[in-house]
Amino acid sequence: MKDGKDGKDGKGGKGGKDGKVAAHRDRPARRTQKTDGGLNPRVLPALPDVPALPTTEVIRDPLWDNIRVDHPALLALDTPAVQRLRYVRQVGHSFLVYPGATHTRFEHALGAYHLTRRALAALEEVGELGPATEEECLAVRMAALLHDIGHYPFSHALEEAGFPSHETLGVAKLSQGLLGERLIQIGGLDFPRIVGALITGSSRSPLQGLISGSIDLDKVDYLSRDARMCGVPYGTVDVDRLLSSLTVVEVEPGHFEIGVQEKGVSALESLLFAKYQMYRNVYWHHAVRSATCMFKRAVRIAVRRGTVTVQAIADATDDGLMELLLARDQSGLASSIRARRLHKRALDLPASEVPGDVQPWVTSDPDLLERVEDAIAEQVGLAPGDVLLDFPARSAMLGVNLPLRTRSGTIERLTDAGRAGHLGLPRVADELYRSARRLRIFVSSPPSRSLEPVVAMLTWPAEQVEARVAAASSLI
C-alpha cells in the first residue's frame, strides 16, 4: 500500500516534515477550538493495542503521482471498514465494456483526500482559510477520505434498486468498530458526527463545499480517474486552474461558503462538461446499463428469498456478493453477468423521443417497476426477469449553485440559469441531460411482439398501472 516516507504531493502543494501541507505553517488568522473529549487533533494519543504508525507516508497513485497521507488519515486507512474499499470497484459493471475500469473506491478515496489537501493549501496560500478552524480543516480532510465508506458493491446500482443510500450507511460506520475508535482518537467524541455532517452535506462548516456541492473534489477525482482507467478522453478537467480559483465567500453575516473566482469559470465548465460526457459514454453505456439492471434484479430476488440480507450486502465486496449470488442463482442472472451474456436492447430511444410526462414511479418505485417488467414479459412470451426497463435519472447532473467572486470583488451567485457572459453551460443543461439519457428495454431473447407501446404506458399514473397489473390487464 505504501511506498516511501518522503516526497512531494503529485501535481500539488508540498508536504512538510510533520505531514502537514507546507502552506499551513503560519496561520495568524485561524480560529482554534477544542472538540468534545478535549483531544488535540495535532497531538494524537496512541492506542495501546495499535502498532505505532509513521507520521506520514507517500502512496503512489496512477493519476496524481505521489499522495502524501498524514497521521490521522493513516489511522483511518488501516481499519477494516476502509480496507474493504480496495475490493469495491469504482464504476461497477463498466469493466465489462472498458477492461481497464477495475479501479476501486479505495484509490478514489485517496484521490479525493489528496485534492482536498491541495485545495486547503491553495486557500491558505492566499489567506482565505481564516474562517475555518484547524479542527474543521482536519474534519474536511477526513470526510474526503471517508465519504464513500458506506458504498455498496457495484457502484450506485443498489440505491437505484431501493436500498438505503450509501451516505446513510457511511455515517453509521463512522461511529462503529475500529474506525469509530480511531476517529474519536483523532478528533474527540464528537468527531464522527462532525465528519458525517460533511459527508451528508448538512454541515455549517465554511469548507462544506469541498465535500458536497457544485465543485466538490469527489467529482474532480472520479471524473479524472474514471476517464483515465477507462481509456477515454471525455473526463478532462482543468484541475490546477479550478483549485487555484477556489475562494471562501461570506454569503451572509457569519456564514461562509466555498465559491469560485471569475477566472475559474472556464475550469468549472470543464468539470460540468466532463460529467456530461462520462455519463453519456461510460456510466450510461448500453452494455453497462444492461448488466446493472440484471444485477439489480438478481440482488432483489436474493433478498426476497432470504439468500442474503441487506446488512450482508452492505458489508460485502464486489466479488463476495457475486459469489453469494452465484451459489444460489435460481434466476440465472448472476451467472449470465459473470459470463457476460447480457440482455440485449429491444428498444432504445433518446430522451428527446420519450414523452415529457413520464411518471415518477418509473425511476422511484423499483417494486412497481419490477411487477411491470414481469407483466410485460408474460405478455410477450418471456419469463420473469427476461424483460428489464431502464430510464436512468440524474436530474442535477449539470446543476450549479455556488458563489462567484467577480474581478471587481463583488459577490454574485452562479445557478442553473448561469450568468450572462460567464457560465453558459447550465443554460443548456436540460438539452445536454436529454441527449445523455436514454430509455431502453433489455430482453434475454426476442419478444413475440414489439415493445414500442410500452412508452405510452410510462405516462400512466402509478395507481392506474398498479390496477392493470393486479387485474392482469395488458400493459402494451
Pairing of strands 255-261, 402-405: parallel
Contact 145, 113 (CB under 8 A): yes
- Tens-digit pLDDT profile for residues 371-393: 999 999 999 999 999 999 999 99
Whether the per-residue pLDDT at 365 is higher than 60: the answer is yes
Whether the per-residue pLDDT at 59 is higher than 80: the answer is yes
Contact 71, 141 (CB under 8 A): no
User: How far apart, in whole angstroms, are the C-alpha atoms of residue 312 and residue 310?
Assistant: 5
pLDDT number for residue 415:
81
- Tens-digit pLDDT profile for residues 86-127: 999 999 999 999 999 999 999 999 999 999 999 999 999 999
- Tens-digit pLDDT profile for residues 425-445: 556 777 888 899 999 999 999
pLDDT number for residue 13:
40
pLDDT number for residue 52:
65
Q: Compute the C-alpha angle 277/221/236, nearest 5°.
A: 40
pLDDT number for residue 90:
97
Write down the domain spans for the chain.
22-231, 355-390+446-476
pLDDT number for residue 232:
95
* Alpha carbon 447 to its chain's center: 36
Mean pLDDT of the residues in the chain: 88
**Cα dihedral value 448, 453, 459, 464, nearest 10:** -60
- Tens-digit pLDDT profile for residues 265-276: 889 989 989 999
Whether the per-residue pLDDT at 135 is higher than 90: the answer is yes
| Structure-block grid coordinates of residue 320 | 463476495
pLDDT number for residue 236:
86
Single out the residue of 139, 148, 410 nearest to residue 259, CA to CA: 410
Whether the per-residue pLDDT at 242 is higher than 70: the answer is yes
User: How far apart, in whole angstroms, are the C-alpha atoms of residue 420 and residue 310?
Assistant: 48
Whether the per-residue pLDDT at 289 is higher than 80: the answer is yes
Single out the residue of 40, 393, 13 nearest to residue 185, CA to CA: 40
pLDDT number for residue 422:
56
- Residue 159 or residue 433, greater confidence: 159
User: How far apart, in whole angstroms, are the C-alpha atoms of residue 112 and residue 21?
Assistant: 15
| Structure-block grid coordinates of residue 71 | 497521521
Q: What is the fold of 22-231?
A: Hypothetical protein af1432 (1.10.3210)
